[in-house]
Structure 1
Amino acid sequence: MTETKPIRHWMTLVSELSARRPVIVLAAAVFVAALSVLGAIRYLSLNPDAYALLPEDVPFLQNYNAYKDRFTYDRRTNIAVIDAPSPESAVVAQVELAAALEVRNDGVFHTIRAPGTDPFLRRNGLLYLTPDALEQAIDRLAAAEPAIAILAQNPSLRGIADLADRMRALSGNDPEIQRARTALAAMIETAARETASGAPNSVSWTRFILGPDMGLELASSRRILLLQGRLDGEESAVGGDGTGLIRAAAQDLGFQERGISLRLTGRGPLSKEEMTHAVADIQMAGALSLTLLAFVLIVGFRSWRAIIGCFGALFCGLAWTFGFATLAVGSLTLLSIVFSVLFIGLGIDFAIHYALRYREEAADTSDAPGTAERTAASCGGALGLCAVTSAVGFLSFWPTDYRGLAELGLIAAAGMALALIASLTVLPALFSLMRLPGGAHATMPGGGAVGGWIDRQKRPIVVAAAILSIAALALSTRAEFDFNTLALKDPKAESVQTLIDLQQDGAITPYTLSIPFADRSAAEAAADRLRTLPEVAGVRSLEDLVPAEADLKQAMIEEAAVFLWPALSPPSVSGAASEGGAQAALHDLRAQSWDDLPPEDRARLVDGLNALDDADAAAFEDRLTTPLRVTLEGLKDALGARAFTLTDLPQDMVDRYVAPDGGVRIAVLPKEDLRDFAALGDFVDAVTALYPDATGRPVLEAGTGKIVVAAFQQAVAIALGVILAFLIWRLRSFRDAVLVLIPLILAGAATTAFGVLAGIPFNVANVIVLPLVLGLGVDNGVHFVARWREEGDLSAVLKSSTPRAVLLSGGTTLASFATLGIVSNSGISSMGMLLSVAMSAIILSTMIVLPALLAWLGSDRAHIRQI
């Protein structure tokens, strides 16, 4: 008892002095709060780097950073995805955007790459097809050779009209020609309709010549730009530098008006968009949390003075915590930014308990110092104990290797201490100035009746709780961990959706492992060895850039060139038609007989052509001939393909696998879907067992998962052990300490079971829930046991201000946590949902199960003492 007297003594002294000198205390509190906010605005930064959540010295992260420093080809690469109405317009847009960014680039981008536009790939692209696919393409080109010859001779609306007329004359004897004429008519009708309406141009001659299936395979209407950010400067500071520049260039090029969409993904857009959304989410959650908090306090207090006092203490404590965060960590990550919303729900608890006890103790509004002294003397010890246990729950991650939650825990733990200080200083000062009176609403209406019911039903309540707990614990053994970093992001965010689209299209393969070697021979030997592993689907290396069976495919292309080159390169080419020529060709198209077409197709074509005025003829011609010229030039380039060796590769392609220092890498592809965390672990273990230097997203996610799981286990053990030891020391009773912990165990089991049933696995954000449940849930139990010791009667306890404070503080905390459950970030959202379930279980356990246990076991009056 002698050890704790000084603590209560200082608490009562601070509270009494604050009520006696309210103006000085409030001026000092507001001054420090203002300095804290100004300092945070000026110096507290945001760090969007997901790997800032991990310690820098872990081996897998060091390997990754060393690899990126050595192989810089795809380091800090952002991706601009261009989706156009047709393959030809996609090519044009890709070239235009790349050129515009080259002009505008002022050190923002290290390199700008437009895959597929390189002359080497334009010429040799067909060599990368399989022999069967190449043969199919050549057969289509052979069938289209007469049409190609007409169009190449006169690539104008006149040439198109001549082609349509020639096909009409031949279509009666050849079903293939009839199908081609129907396709040509559909393309003409589309161009006419889009010209009349001003819609974007979707005409594609590639699809017409090769057919829709081969056309989509060989010339997709999606193109990408690879935009590598500056290689100097901090990783976290470079990511989104070029986003505005890219969008401005696309706007100036009229992408939107041309029906061309531009989406951005990659390191910069993902990080920038995630942090932007996270800040907006936290602001929304904070505002909603404050609104719900005000509603709960209005219902619970029915006193504007008490509500103003609680909010005053809350805002001062929150501002002070921002100041602490600025001094202690200097930057906030995607996890530590959550502390502000957590503080709203948790920091108000101290104020609620103090305010309700103050009203219970208040006999004379003129004796605010005396009321403050009695309040602190009666509940200060319990508040201090709650602050310590809450801080322990947050700080349980501090000794672990998980930096992300360690920093969140440090800030939130300091916030608990600062919230307690605000409750003992700002609150009594405000109550003194406002002359807060006592009131019946400080106690729990109907508490005596509830206490009587619990006392009568104590055994069934305890038995039912035990059965439910056993079932929940059994279900909890099926809990899963998922450390897929992409799954934590907002699935509706543009950068996330775009990345998923590219993965599904096979344009990028993020779940590969890269392994560096000193030379090509060592890399090839490793590739042969890795291909034998059952977890490996394939291995890509520098040698794979040289297409297999290139001589055979070159011979096939040369045979095709024999009949296609004369068609593509006539002795003379008619120039672009004049406006008058376009009008005459339009009249000719209208006058032609289209009776051979299906009735519905003929009706649409005739209506489309008749909707055009003569003044539209030039624009109509342009819509048809611009993509035609792109297609004809592409065919000419492709017919020049020649087999090549590694020495013929452009340097940009070589740089994908060869580092500036001459080192060589290989890429290892998984056989299983690595969104399954177990499969990811098997793949990483199999490859790294042979080559420990292997790195990439699978290694990062597997390594992160191991760190988080270990941190989770350590944090639970630390929180449980420290809180139990502290409770035994303060309560002087092992039994009462265990009684306080029982609601926490029930809440933890219920929360984990809910996660299993709801399909919410543990992830890098929500693993804090269980250690936090131990730290937060103990508060209500401490207050309840403290009041039980003071009253010695269950009905008296339930009629007091304590259960009312438990419900109010639990309700405000639950409201705050629930707002996190609706944010867009999946990790934070799952944290909010699980914390809401945990808080609900804690409230029910504290208000029903714990009183039933106390009534069942009775009280050993020999050890009763005030906390």
Structure 2
Amino acid sequence: MDYQRYIDWADDRIVHDSRKVVLLFLVVTVVFSAGLGGVSTNSGTSQFTTGLPAEEALQEVNDKFSPTFSPDTGSTQLIQQETNVLSKPALLRMLRSQHRLEQRGTLRVTSTSSAASIVAKQLDPEATTTEQQVYAVEAATPSEIDAAVRRAAEQNPRFKSLLSKDFNRKAASASATIGVVTHEVPAGISSGSGQGGSSPLTSIQKQAGFTVSSADHGGITLFGSGIVADEFSNVVGDSLILTVPAAVLFILFFLTIAYRDLADMALGLLALFMAVVWTFGFMGLAGIPFSQMLIAVPPLLLAVGIDFGIHAVNRYREERETGASIQKSMRITTDQLLVAFFIVTGTTVIGFAANLTSALPPIQDFGYVASVGITFTFLIFGVFLPAAKVELDRLRQRYPIPTFSETPLGAEDSALSDVLRGGVVIANRAPIIFLVLILVSTVGASYYATGVSTSFSQEDFLPPEENPDFVEALPEPFAPSEYTVTEVTNFLDERFDTTQSSQATVYVEGPMRNDAALEQMYRAGNNPPDSFVREDGRADSTSIVTVIRDRADEDPEFRRMVERNDRNDNGIPDDNLEQIYEYLLDSSARGQALEYITEDYRSARVVYTVEADATDAEVTTDTRNVADDFRYDATATGSVVVFQAVSDLILESAIQSLAIALIGASVFLILIYNMLEGRPSLGLVNIIPVVVTVAWLGGTMRVLSIPFNALTATMLAITIGLGVDYSVHVTHRFADEFDENDLETALDRTVRGTGGALFGSMLTTTFGIGVLGLAVFPAIGQFGILTALSIGYAFLASLLVIPSALVVWDRVFNADWSVRGILGFGRSRPPAPVDGDD
């Protein structure tokens, strides 16, 4: 394929039509900027659960087994902390808070309950309203209240569950309690397992919090899903406000060092700004919402854009130092770098596009947007920036535009060049020994990385309980919001009995009129798995079978009907099931029955109680196994199952995208080096430092106890993208130098020229992205730290590993094929002849 004519055409446009090129790109920037206003946001965990079979089953359970015309409800917790929440003043504070909330119509309160209400009813059984309960407590003496507390603890099982673990029945004291306020809210609040980025309860709970605090009911804190949703939304914005200015400062500082010229740096910053505008404008025009996953995109654009910009300007300066004209210098620069940028873009896009194979929509969106953004970055830095640089230097010839240092990074007489040559020194002395050591460390790191855990929970999206002191000391607008969710959840875990059993659900679809329908449901509870709670040797569960048995105990006529249709006398009807169901739906048990079977008798649900200390993975596996025992279509679902399914998919996505990215990048590099250089083996050399970088990063994740979560799941694919960026620049520059020089000279010129640009790019992006570690959103902080490490590893691997790999490559492909040649005793390719040689 004659690719050079396309490069020549692009060179001509950049050099001879530079003004038209610049104008065209600016117009396109204005077009994309129109889409910025259309970028919406999507945060929280619900975006990850959408489309999963377990989530769809849970959605159907919520839709089908709720009363048809009943309003959706949500709840707010009133968390009270005092020396003794069961003292008379504390009980009155809780009851008056409940009453005040009930009186506010905008809060849509349907009911309230608390330990204080239970005590008040013990004092006055006729006190059915909160106002009456206030009067009952006000009229009681402290000793009467203490006696009422003891009776409540003895007679009402729910009473103790509302009190902290330090409840002392004899002393009638506890340090904390929980009250519950139920609201009627707009439709949809009850469905789904994930926490969305917004909630109808948010404004209600904010108003409720103000209502309680304004009444000076001290010691009472409000908590609920609306407050959690609000913090989900705020934590991303606060993280960006905190980290972006710091990132900008670091980037400006290191770009100043890298460019050492204000006009050149301004061009680089303009190109970076255009890349971000194009990418986010495209998102707005395409209707792709901005989510936590896409927080990773701007740092990636900065990383690749800064690298491209420094390389373009540095390579151009190398040619200008030889005395070449503006046009000739830029033509040589773009002739080489357009190819290198294309290789980087192709492999990087493959790395990010590998995420499109994920079953999780947010990870798919990340792969799509990152691929498009990197393509935009290639066009802007490969075409616009060189054309703008040509125009700038032409203007400098006509006008007194200040010019500072134009010396390229890594010049031959610089101190930096001696440092960059470290990999070449190793390659000249002991390349094989060094590569063996690298191989051992890579295999060891890879094996160690298999122990990296996987996490998916709401806590991944929340800020830490306490921000660092320096963050708290920041002035507005950098100071983060006041967060309480993590502190409250930790308080609840610590002070209240959270070891109560949770639940898992099996959603059954099939003809429930069939004679064996209830028997198979009953038999599914035999020999329950370890994570299920046992009762009389069977799984503790609730279903339509439970409703039938409870009704039979209360209704003699119904009991006789069940007995007539029970063939094996186990209390489960086997015949005429439709009559059984119709009797239930015509009785007072209708509402209870419809919680477990639909009116068309085509769907049912079974709710199993699971052990509190069982892991989510154990519960999910066991629930799926039980579901498989049903002869009808049965799906394991419930919040535990849904979240575990997402966690499994996160790990699967990470491994799958890694494999696809590595294979795809390797094939692409082999093909492209065969087409461009006639040396496909250079593609394999190119991928070696990438594999090393991925292994080192995986091992580091385990060392730092950073799991694969909603954001870090993409890190391995990102590492391939960024790692290929660095290794391609080194390998491609070497291929160009190797055409005209001997091996050692080619390596030396490569690491001095390209290595200098890589060093500037590495410092800028490592510190610029590394400041994300300051984010109040933990997942962003972990992402920033890992991205900075991956860039540092990619830089070190490219400059240390590639020279030794190229020496061995030369011995294998350009020396004799004997063992002596490979080990270094054969003669490498002789230096290329210079002008005047015979």
- TM-score, structure 1 normalization: 0.69
Q: CA deviation at 1:479?
A: 3.0
| Cα pair 1:363 1:438 within 8 Å, conserved | no
**Alpha carbons of 1:415 and 1:795: their partners in 2 closer, same or farther (altered >3 Å)?**
same
Q: Deviations over 1:187-235 (max 9, x none)?
A: xxxxxxxxxxxxxxxxxxx99xx95666357x95322324453115998
- Output the amino acid matched with 1:407: D
Alignment of 1:166-565 (within 5 A): 215-216=172-173, 221-227=177-183, 229-232=185-188, 239-254=198-213, 257-266=216-225, 268-362=226-320, 368-431=326-389, 432-433=391-392, 435=396, 439-444=406-411, 445-446=414-415, 447=417, 450=422, 453-454=425-426, 455-492=428-465, 493-502=483-492, 505-506=496-497, 511-515=502-506, 526=521, 529-530=524-525, 532-533=527-528, 534-537=530-533, 539=540, 541=542
Opposite residue 467 of structure 1, the aligned amino acid is: V
Higher relative contact order, chain-length normalized (CA < 8 Å, sep 6+):
1
- Answer yes or no: is 1:63 the counterpart of 2:57: yes
Task: Tell me the distance in 2 between the aligned counterparts of 1:62 and 1:318.
Answer: 36
State the identity as a percent: 18
CA contact (8 A) 1:359 1:438 kept: no
Shift in Å at residue 116 of structure 1?
4.2
| C-alpha distance after superposition, 1:34-90 (max 9, x if no partner) | 44345322x11111252323552x322210211122245897735333324324566
SS in 2 for 1:512: strand
Is 1:740–1:785's contact at 8 Å kept on the other side of the alignment?
Answer: yes
CA displacement at 1:118 relative to structure 2 = 12
* Contact map agreement 1:296 1:808 (CA 8 A) in 2: yes
Secondary structure of 2:505's aligned partner: strand
Q: Does 1:703 align with 2:676?
A: no
Within 1, Cα distance between the matches of 2:786 and 2:766?
11
Name 1:716's counterpart in structure 2. 658
Q: Is 1:789 matched up with 2:735?
A: yes
Q: Secondary structure at the match of 1:694?
A: strand
For residues 122-162 of structure 1, the C-alpha deviation after alignment (integer angstroms, 9 at most, x for no partner) is 769999xxxxxxxxxxxxxxxxxxxxxxx999959xx88xx
Could you tell me whether the CA contact under 8 Å between 2:276 and 2:298 is conserved in 1? Answer: yes
Structure 2 residue aligned with 1:552:
none
- Contact conserved, 2:686 with 2:731, CA < 8 A, in 1? yes
- Shifted more, 744-753 versus 284-293: the winner is 284-293
After TM superposition, give the deviation of residue 772 of structure 1 in Å: 2.0
Give structure 2 stretches of 5+ with no counterpart.
126-134, 147-162, 397-402, 466-482, 535-539, 551-584, 739-744, 816-828, 833-838
How far residue 381 of structure 1 moved from its aligned partner, in angstroms, is 0.4
Q: Which has more helix, going by share of residues?
A: 1
Are 1:361 and 1:438, in contact at CA under 8 Å, matched by a contact in 2? no
- Superposed counterparts of 1:56-205, under 5 Å: 56=51, 58-72=52-66, 77-85=74-82, 86-87=85-86, 92=92, 95-97=95-97, 99-101=99-101, 104-106=104-106, 112-116=110-114, 155=139
- Counterpart-to-counterpart distance in 2, 1:437 and 1:453: 33
- Note if 1:685 corresponds to 2:624: yes
SS in 2 for 1:280: helix
Please state how far the C-alpha of 1:858 moved relative to its aligned partner: 2.5
Q: Paired residue for 1:855, among 794, 800, 807?
A: 807
Gap change, CA 1:452 and 1:522, over 3 Å in 2 = closer
Name 1:750's counterpart in structure 2. 696
Contact between 2:43 and 2:197, CA under 8 Å: does it hold in 1? Answer: no
CA distance in 1, matches of 2:409, 2:786: 31
- SS of 1:721 mapped into structure 2: helix
Map 1:555-594 → 2, pairs under 5 A? none
Name the aligned partner's letter for residue 657 of structure 2: A
What's the CA shift for 1:307? 1.6
**Are the equivalent residues in 1 in contact too, given 2:46–2:196 (CA < 8 A)?**
no
CA distance in 2, matches of 1:507, 1:659: 33
Please, which of 32, 40, 45 is the counterpart of residue 40 of structure 2? 45
Q: Distance in 1 between matches of 2:423 and 2:209?
A: 69
Change (3 A) 1:819 1:673: farther
Which residue does 1:175 correspond to in 2?
Answer: none
Aligned counterpart, 1:582? none
Displacement of 1:464 in angstroms is: 2.2
Paired with 1:827 and 1:153, the residues of 2 have a C-alpha distance of: 48
Instruction: For residue 263 of structure 1, give the secondary structure of its aligned residue in structure 2.
Output: strand
2:626 pairs with 1:668: no
Which secondary structure does the structure 2 equivalent of 1:325 belong to? helix
Task: Give the Cα–Cα distance (whole angstroms) in 1 for the partners of residues 208 and 697 of structure 2.
Answer: 50
Change in Cα spacing, 1:652 to 1:244, as seen in structure 2 (3 Å) is farther
Alignment match, 1:609: none
Stretch of structure 1 that moved more, 835-844 or 68-77: 68-77
Deviation of the 1:393 alpha carbon = 1.0
Cα separation, partners in 2 of 1:294 and 1:252, compared to 1, 3 Å: same
AA partner of residue 809 (structure 1) = S
User: What secondary structure, in the 3-state scheme, does the structure 2 residue paired with 1:441 have?
Assistant: coil
Q: How many Å separate the matches in 1 of 2:26 and 2:499? A: 53
Q: CA deviation at 1:364?
A: 9.7
Match of 1:762 among 690, 694, 708: 708
**Cα deviations by residue, 1:87-130 (Å, 9 ceiling, x for unpaired):** 45665555555555555455x75x64423489999769999xxx
Between the aligned partners of 1:126 and 1:50, the Cα distance in structure 2 is 45
Mapped to 2, the partners of 1:524 and 1:75 lie a distance apart of: 33
Q: What's the CA shift string for 1:660-710, capped at 9, x where partnerless?
A: 999875542322635x45434433334433463332112102222333333
Preserved CA contact (<8 Å) 1:290 1:344: no
Q: Which runs of 5+ in 1 are unaligned?
A: 128-150, 165-179, 181-205, 549-645
What is the CA deviation profile of residues 499-528 of structure 1, one whole-angstrom value per residue up to 9, with x for unaligned ones?
Answer: 454456347969521345779x98899578
TM value normalised by structure 2: 0.72
Residues 423 and 649 (structure 1 numbering): CA distance in 2 closer, same or farther, change over 3 Å?
same
| SS of residue paired to 2:60 | helix
CA distance in 2, matches of 1:734, 1:510: 60
Distance in 2 between the 1:97 and 1:6 partners?
79
Q: 8 Å contact 1:36–1:320 — kept in the other structure?
A: yes
- The change in CA–CA distance for 1:423 and 1:289 in structure 2 (over 3 A counts) is same
1:259 Cα deviation from its structure 2 partner: 1.5
For the 8 Å contact 1:386–1:782, the answer to whether it is kept is: yes
User: For residue 15 of structure 1, what is the aligned residue in structure 2?
Assistant: 14
AA paired with 2:531? E
Contact 1:358 1:438 in 2 (8 A): no
> Which structure is larger by alpha-carbon Rg, 1 or 2?
1
Is contact 2:49–2:642 with CA below 8 Å preserved after alignment? no
- Give me the whole-angstrom Cα distance separating, in 2, the residues matched to 1:750 and 1:347: 24
Tell me how far 1:659 sits from its aligned partner.
Answer: 8.2
Q: Which whole-Å CA distance do the structure 1 matches of 2:761 and 2:681 have between them? A: 25
> Which contiguous aligned blocks of 4+ residues in structure 1 show a shift greater than 6 angstroms?
73-76, 117-122, 124-127, 151-154, 233-238, 507-510, 521-525, 542-545, 646-664, 861-865
